[in-house]
Structure 1
Amino acid sequence: MRYRMRMFVLVYVLVFAGMMLFWWGPSKLHYGMYSTLQQGHSLRTVSIVRDVQAAGVAIDDPAYGYDNYTSNFWNHSTAFCDGRFIGYSRLLAILRNVVLDFKFARGQKGGENISDVINQPEEEEFYKYLPGFFKLPCKEPIEYNFIGDSHHLNSWIENALETDGKVFSREAGIYIDWTIAITRYEYANLYHTMTDYYNAFLMLKMFRLNSKDVTILIIDGHPSGGLDATWRYLFGKVKRVSDFRKPTLFKNMIWSMAGYESPLDDHFLPNVPYIEEFREFFLFHYDVSSSYKLNCKRLNILLIWRHDYLAHPRNPSGKVSRKINNEFELLSKMQETFRTHNVRGIQIDKYPMKKQLQMIAKTDILIGMHGAGLSHTLFLPKHSGLLEMFSMYYTAENRHFRAMAGWRGLHYRNWENMDYEREVMEESTNVDEAEVARLTVEISEQMCPKSS
């Protein structure tokens, strides 16, 4: 009987372990790495330390591996070519002394005016590669793959990277700055571009870099967009890969993780690393104060509208959905409810980014339909609140901004339309003004509780 019982327990443990391994396989590995609730880990082995040294990272810096997030990456690194290629957690990589040769790429140059490329197919804005686009001076094959939606990184490995062992010609260019290479998938959308900004910021943290000493290398052929200038505010230099017309050696190139693999895009994470530091980083580089204090006698309440605008070549009409059909009535109701406070309604994307941030950094309650503009939740004051509205055809199951508010500890409410008669051609919604006002009052009372 004891033998049978032991065998039963052993089988149970093995089955359970197998299920956990299936669930926490490579595709789930990064979830655990992003959780700041995990216990810290020490550096893995002496060989990994040597690999990192070869990549140019100063591990004698006492801050090296100083937190759970970066140490988890160090613990899951794989090196090739004597440390010239190191992959981390199948999400990103660093290449040392890699040569980039743009003649081995096919696609649009990028940076054109949208009006010149109207109706341009999106596939023309993503490069097709030939072996030799990237070259490493070694003969070892790079047998590495990236997880999830890291499509361009896997394409760089499979189609673009060549290890031929040849010595680089000194007649070509040499780029000594640290370089973060990115491919943008939804470059005109503030939310998805925010994941790229944030990922690049994480690379600064991981490799202990100063933004002014880093070049952002854009490896795509998208035309010029309204969010491009922000890269130049946040980082020292921004280059398009098409700017390099001759082979160029990059001393240290980071292949940043894909936007779709960003912690910001995993809405069920309990925490996200450096979220408040990212806010400070962003506001600092735009010279916007982050010291705004709550004044319960004069709240700043900002409603943001979604209006049509031309953002990319595939939507020449500029039509957008999820608009508020009764903007004037909603604004009037809010001003009536909050008579002694400052209540405004604006189309925020009409303003330059600096002006947007100046307004957001002094907003106590932000209100808007679910949409990319609510990415500004990341830059609200720490005491503030978000009221998110949803149409019937874009429900509250979309947790993008609820997650952001949760990570930052902000007050959050949402209103979701359940009445078809409030929808106008799946384009705009007549929101319930009274209910939105009531929910806003709830947020204000949480922020400013009345004394008993």
Structure 2
Amino acid sequence: MSKRNPRILKIFIYMLLLNSLFLCFYFAFHSSSPSPEPPHPHFPLQFHVSVNNQSAIQKPWPILPSYLPWTPPHKSLPSSSCEGFFGNGFTRRVDFLKPRISEGSWFRCFYSETLQSLICEGRNLRMVPDRIVMSKGGEKLEEVMGRKEEEELPEFREGAFEVAEEASRLGFNRNRRIGIGGGGGEGSSVLSRRLVSEEMLNEYIQEGGIDKHTMRDLVASIRVVGTEDFVCDEWVEEPTLLVTRFEYANLYHTVTDWYSAYVSSRVTGLPNRPHVVFIDGHCTTQLEETWTALFSGIRYAKNFSKPVCFRHAILSPLGYETALFKGLTAEIDCNGESAQSLWQNPDDKKTARLSEFGEMIRSAFGFPVNRHRSSEKPLSSSTTSVHNVLFVRREDYLAHPRHGGKVQSRLVNEEEVFNSLHHWVASGSTGLTKCGINLVNGLFAHMSMKEQIRAIQDASVIIGAHGAGMTHIVSATPNTTIFEIVSVEFQRPHFELIAKWKGLEYHAMHLANSRADPTAVIEKLKEIMKSLGC
């Protein structure tokens, strides 16, 4: 290993310099691009303190080997480009409210033709919790068993969100006032108008196949009120993501929410990681550990007892509108490539964005992203190395208030397959002479999220039946091999696509039913290990 240290050091220095160049390019681009429109708000890099005197430290963005500048691409960007699919295609800007003074309110959105999705942001946005009908959220799961999903998803009443404007520009007679209940006292009246018309909603936030499009409903609820009616007991000075989650207890769908929130932060040019406010009434789950690691802090909308004003609020699109979800039904012909290669040779059919996001997750938990896997180390004093082979297991666990605690088996003899692999490795009869195997029992339901990410990043090979736990491969390192066991009932492309979009080697064993032949699994793994040089 000592002979490799100088090379590793050179690679690390190279990556550090490359990221520095990227950041220089990014800030030079934004500082030198003249625009008659108001630029993105620039927030001081020092820590802010909200009016309620609670500390609100913002976490910095980490240095990521796969980072590429998130600059607005040319408007000639092909609609089917990988940059468009994976987040950097929000090119059409729509200003719903323009500022008249330097500190005035504004609200605008960025539309992606590729994803048919919208990222919105606003300055001085007021939230009135009493006008959002939903459960409190954030409770312990055991306390809310049996609660219906419709109670957890928000119903936005008019004026749930507000922005301020001078009364003279509202276009109303001062004597013409509209009563909106809640927030400022039941039946309180404010001078107001709707921010976004029905026609604009239909053009930019179409419901599509989603019965309840919460972002559309949120934007539809925004009222423009006079400055004299814009009163807040609490101000949140830090940039804040407003996120509504749907299938919040499922890892695959939660990863789409994480990715959507990450993209929103980059597209809007936030200098640090934002805070998150969940605009939903879901209870807590294990997955919130990653929300907390990725961003600067999380709160629930109903944690605010009175109206609260956000100096800079960003509306994150639904996870259903990301490429991760849309790729399940629409062909997204993209292949993973290194950021360094794409920097030198841009290619519309290749992407490094999922690799960048995977590094973001690993870095958020404190794992270095500029080194070789810790599993690739000598097994003894000889030159033989050891590879971690992670077997992702499906276990029964209580996921949400409507869940019975039982998961559907995707591999009925999973225990038998794992035990056969364990015996094959422990008996020393692998027949592999150049490396050893450390078989890792991936009982994710009994591991913290940090432990799960550690197991993923340390694995040379990840095996598992089709199931949400395999979504973790989004955080796998570039030289990881994926081996998916696919039963006849679950022939779905989720993990093959993630592997493709990350540039990972992928193998599948398709079963005629839901039972795998342990010997066949061993032979396939042996074949994979030999391809790794064992």
Compute the TM-score of the two structures, normalised by the length of structure 2: 0.67
Alpha-carbon shift at residue 373 of structure 1 (Å): 0.6
Alpha-carbon displacement from aligned partner over 1:401-436 (angstroms, at most 9, x marks no partner):
1111111111111112214xxxxxxxxx32122222
1:187 aligns with 2:248: yes
> What does residue range 133-282 of structure 1 map to in structure 2 within 5 Å?
133-138=160-165, 139=170, 141-143=195-197, 144-145=200-201, 146-147=205-206, 148=208, 149=210, 151-158=213-220, 160-170=221-231, 172-212=233-273, 214-267=274-327, 268-269=331-332, 270=334, 271-272=350-351, 274-282=353-361
Match of 2:531 among 435, 446, 449: 446
Aligned AA (1:350): H
Aligned AA (2:405): S
d(CA) in 1 for partners of 2:414, 2:307: 56
Counterpart of 1:362 in structure 2 is 458
d(CA) in 1 for partners of 2:521, 2:467: 17
d(CA) in 2 for partners of 1:56, 1:181: 17
Match of 1:92 among 92, 97, 119: 119
Counterpart of 1:65 in structure 2 is 71
d(CA) in 2 for partners of 1:67, 1:440: 42
Alpha-carbon shift at residue 161 of structure 1 (Å): 1.4
- The percent identity for this pair of structures is 26
Secondary structure in 1 aligned to 2:509?
Answer: strand
Match of 2:439 among 325, 330, 343: 343
Counterpart of 1:302 in structure 2 is 390
Counterpart of 2:474 in structure 1 is 378
Counterpart of 1:399 in structure 2 is 493
Secondary structure in 2 aligned to 1:332?
Answer: helix
d(CA) in 2 for partners of 1:227, 1:211: 22
Higher relative contact order (CA 8 A, sep 6+): 2
Alignment CA distance shift 1:245-1:326 (3 Å)? closer
Counterpart of 2:134 in structure 1 is 107
Counterpart of 1:286 in structure 2 is 365
d(CA) in 2 for partners of 1:329, 1:321: 14
> What does residue range 69-88 of structure 1 map to in structure 2 within 5 Å?
69=83, 73=89, 75-82=91-98, 84-88=106-110
Alignment CA distance shift 1:137-1:446 (3 Å)? same
Contact 2:93 2:108 in 1 (8 A): yes
Contact 2:487 2:515 in 1 (8 A): no
Aligned AA (1:155): D
Aligned AA (1:76): R
d(CA) in 1 for partners of 2:501, 2:70: 25
Secondary structure in 1 aligned to 2:464?
Answer: strand
d(CA) in 2 for partners of 1:345, 1:141: 53
1:325 aligns with 2:341: no
Contact 2:148 2:402 in 1 (8 A): yes
1:122 aligns with 2:154: no
Alignment CA distance shift 1:314-1:51 (3 Å)? farther
Secondary structure in 2 aligned to 1:275?
Answer: helix
Alpha-carbon displacement from aligned partner over 1:135-191 (angstroms, at most 9, x marks no partner):
122447413331445811111123x21123344545522211101111001111111
Alignment CA distance shift 1:297-1:276 (3 Å)? same
Secondary structure in 2 aligned to 1:112?
Answer: coil
Alignment CA distance shift 1:134-1:273 (3 Å)? farther
Alpha-carbon displacement from aligned partner over 1:184-229 (angstroms, at most 9, x marks no partner):
01111111111111111112222232444x1101000001111112
RMSD over aligned CA atoms reads 2.8
Match of 2:519 among 416, 434, 448: 434
d(CA) in 2 for partners of 1:311, 1:392: 25
Contact 1:48 1:77 in 2 (8 A): no
d(CA) in 2 for partners of 1:326, 1:136: 55
Secondary structure in 2 aligned to 1:85?
Answer: strand
Give the count of matched residue pairs: 387
Contact 2:126 2:310 in 1 (8 A): yes
Alpha-carbon displacement from aligned partner over 1:71-113 (angstroms, at most 9, x marks no partner):
9645311111116121111422112211111111111000112
d(CA) in 2 for partners of 1:313, 1:288: 33
Aligned AA (1:412): Y
Alignment CA distance shift 1:74-1:383 (3 Å)? closer
Alpha-carbon displacement from aligned partner over 1:26-59 (angstroms, at most 9, x marks no partner):
xxxxxxxxxxxxxxxxx9xxx9944452x5169x
d(CA) in 1 for partners of 2:98, 2:362: 40
Unmatched runs of 5 consecutive residues or more in structure 2: 1-28, 44-68, 75-82, 100-105, 112-116, 171-193, 335-349, 378-383
d(CA) in 1 for partners of 2:462, 2:367: 18
Aligned AA (1:215): H
Secondary structure in 2 aligned to 1:299?
Answer: strand
Secondary structure in 1 aligned to 2:526?
Answer: helix
Contact 1:411 1:446 in 2 (8 A): no
d(CA) in 2 for partners of 1:48, 1:403: 39
Match of 1:315 among 391, 403, 416: 403
Of the structure 1 ranges 119-128 and 261-270, higher mean CA displacement relative to structure 2 is found in 261-270
d(CA) in 1 for partners of 2:320, 2:110: 17
Secondary structure in 1 aligned to 2:472?
Answer: helix
Contact 1:174 1:249 in 2 (8 A): yes
Secondary structure in 1 aligned to 2:478?
Answer: coil
Secondary structure in 1 aligned to 2:121?
Answer: strand
Counterpart of 2:51 in structure 1 is none
1:56 aligns with 2:41: yes
Higher helix share: 1
d(CA) in 2 for partners of 1:79, 1:273: 30
d(CA) in 1 for partners of 2:37, 2:42: 9
Counterpart of 1:413 in structure 2 is 507
Contact 1:100 1:248 in 2 (8 A): yes
